[in-house]
Amino acid sequence: MQSYVIEGGRKLEGEVYISGSKNASLPIIAGSILNGNISKLYNVPNIHDTQITLKILKLLGCKVKKNGKKIEINSKYINKKEIPEDLMRQMRSTVIMAGAIIGRFKEATFSYPGGCEIGARPIDLHLSAFKKLGINIEENSGFIRCSCDKIVGANINLDFPSVGATENIILATVLAEGITTISNAAMEPEIEDLANYLNKMGAKIEGAGTNFIKITGVKKLKEVSYKVMPDRIEAGTFLCAGAITGGNIELKEVIPEHITPALHKLQEAGCNIEIENRSIKLQAPKKLKAIDIKTMPYPGFPTDLQSIFGAVLATCKGTSTIVENIFENRYKYLYELQRMGAKITIEGKMAVIKGVRKLSATSVNSTDLRGGAALVLAGLSAKGTTKVENIEYILRGYEKFEEKLQKLGARIYIKNN
Ligand code: UD1
């Protein structure tokens, strides 16, 4: 068990380089199963979740070479089609590997991912899409076995634009017979990144990034090299770290259009934002103004930044509101913020946050990946020494988090409990 110890109250200043996207890397690494060949991937963040995904690939029989942010995967020699249960439980998003394994081998076994910290997260949309593609699904004591003689393209309409289900359908149908369409598809940039990668290896995917995607099955895929897009959620997190500390920071290697809603909200709160190609400069005012946030599927305000903004709103002038529309259990961190003196009431999907002048430092507990990062931001702005416990959650998704914050002038250290 590790904790962060943060001496708060310092303005963050300087430049920070944004890492490759966690949520794009995971399906892209899974996609390397499909070509039965080499994938050279660049800009993959070295974090717990990518390490687990690579561990699964090795267990399936892939050869994996890692050199910093560059990873070379050779999927020619895969000899297992089962995702190990213990690894499946460590990371929910391993479910997207199922689509890639079935897509190539027409069979896959994995365990039911179950609930997680931020909600029930069922996979009914994934499974009903698989059935539409002619895949048989047998469920037995928590295990799901998928098999078929061939995958045949179909027209799939998603009841909700699920990111994971959209990715899983793409991965399962790139090598299918005929044409698959997905209507009400998720439009997140990570899906476009996955499609660009697969197209570079010879797939035929059109419309990724819109709500209608067409996949024309191809017979064979080839060797590929690909650079993963920057992490828009990490970018939003650092902008908020700048904002909450009254700082002045510059993000490098970021795609500004990917975080348009967050940029607008920060401007509304009083921050000055300057955008230039792949850089964003943020200058925060002495006191931020209250704002209202509603999470929505892309291009709406991302649920993954809801908690991060929640920390910022705790010290804004006036009363802010948050409505969380994507996950039903994403407010746990707010109870920890209350322990730091935040004035918050929660009713169902809505949280009302009355800004206080300063948060007070104390020991708090990370509740999930983004909730944990939110508490770090709260600690950076609070007066005194804050301890954020259970940072394993945070390390799942942020590369060199404390190092990057230290470079911006934060006093934050890891403590082994
Ligand atoms: C992905 C992201 C996660 C982000 C989320 C929403 C990755 C690895 N994770 O998660 O960081 O917060 O998108 O932007 O990319 N749902 C169902 N049935 C299904 C699938 C989903 O009811 O079969 C529900 C979920 O419970 C949730 C909502 O749909 O309430 C959104 O889930 P989804 O878009 O699938 O998110 P993930 O792909 O799990």
* pLDDT at position 88 over 90: no
Dump pLDDT digits (tens) for 337-381. 999 999 999 999 999 999 999 999 999 999 899 999 999 999 999
Q: Whose CA is nearest to atom 17 of ligand 1?
A: 122
326 lines ligand 1 (CB under 6 A): yes
CATH 3.65.10.10 is right for the domain spanning 2-19+230-416: yes
- Whether the model clears a pTM of 0.85, i.e. scores above it, the answer is yes
**368 close to ligand 1 (CB < 6 Angstrom):** no
Domain ranges of the chain: 2-19+230-416, 22-227
Fold for 22-227, please state it. Answer: UDP-n-acetylglucosamine1-carboxyvinyl-transferase; Chain (3.65.10)
Let me know how long the chain is. 417
* pLDDT tens track for 128-150: 999 999 999 999 888 899 999 99
Instruction: Given the residues 116, 146, 240, 271, select the one marked as catalytic.
Output: 116
User: Which token pair is 392?
Assistant: 């394993």
Q: Is the CB of 26 under 6 A from ligand 1?
A: yes
Nearest residue CA, atom 20 of ligand 1? 123
Q: Is 27 in the pocket of ligand 1 (CB under 6 A)?
A: no
Q: Is 116 a catalytic residue?
A: yes
Atom 35 in ligand 1: which residue has the minimum CA distance? 162
Strands 248-252 and 13-17, by their bridges, are: parallel
- 395 CA to centre of ligand 1 in angstroms: 20
**Cα of 121 to ligand 1 centre, how many Å?**
7
C-alpha span between 247 and 396 (Å, rounded): 26
Q: How confident is the model at residue 115 (pLDDT cuts 50, 70, 90)?
A: low
Strand extents, DSSP E, 148-276: 155-157, 179-183, 204-206, 212-216, 224-227, 248-252, 272-276
